[in-house]
Amino acid sequence: MARGLNKVMIIGHLGRDPEMRFTASGKPVAAFNVATSRRWTDNEGENQEETEWFHVVAWGGLAELCKKRLNKGSQVYVEGRLQTRSWEGPEGKHYYRTELVAQEMIFLDAQEDTVEPLGNELASFSSDEDPAALL
């Protein structure tokens, strides 16, 4: 069987503070949105800008670090994989969401209000958690 690749790398800013939850088994999961922007000059010489939003999910120890270190406006590098999950709402309507499941992060903002060293700190985590646990 051919080998596949599902890898995403983004650098952007959080649109809001991370939301922390716990699975039924007590495992922490954090979710937040990251905006990435690109700029270019169009054929008429006009400057253009486009923003893309990514829904990011982090598990376990990485989720706890996100809740502790990140807030609205924080700049972060996120590396992980794309995953689409689906669920059925109360009215029987089906919903879908594609999210970036974080496996590694670099917190790009220095935080001076803590004793721990933070500048460009790397936090790595891998998880095979069930995405349905977010519901």
Question: Residue 19 is part of a domain; what is its CATH number?
Answer: 2.40.50.140
Domain count, the chain: 1
Residue 77 lies in a domain: yes
Per-residue confidence at 125, pLDDT binned at 50, 70, 90?
Answer: very low
Per-residue confidence at 2, pLDDT binned at 50, 70, 90?
Answer: confident
Enter the pTM of the model: 0.78
Residue 109 lies in a domain: yes
Residue 3 lies in a domain: no
**Would you say the C-alpha torsion 64, 15, 51, 98 has a positive or negative sign?**
positive
The residue type found at 124 is S
Residue 112 lies in a domain: yes
Q: Which residue has the tokens 């650098």?
A: 11
Residue 2 lies in a domain: no
Residue 94 lies in a domain: yes
30: domain range?
A: 8-35+49-130
pLDDT score, position 70: 96
Question: Using CA atoms, how far apart are residues 7 and 84, in angstroms rounded to an integer?
Answer: 14
Mean pLDDT of 113-127: 44
Residue 42 lies in a domain: no
Residue 118 lies in a domain: yes
Question: Using CA atoms, how far apart are residues 29 and 24, in angstroms rounded to an integer?
Answer: 11
- pLDDT of residue 126 exceeding 50, the answer is no
Per-residue confidence at 110, pLDDT binned at 50, 70, 90?
Answer: low
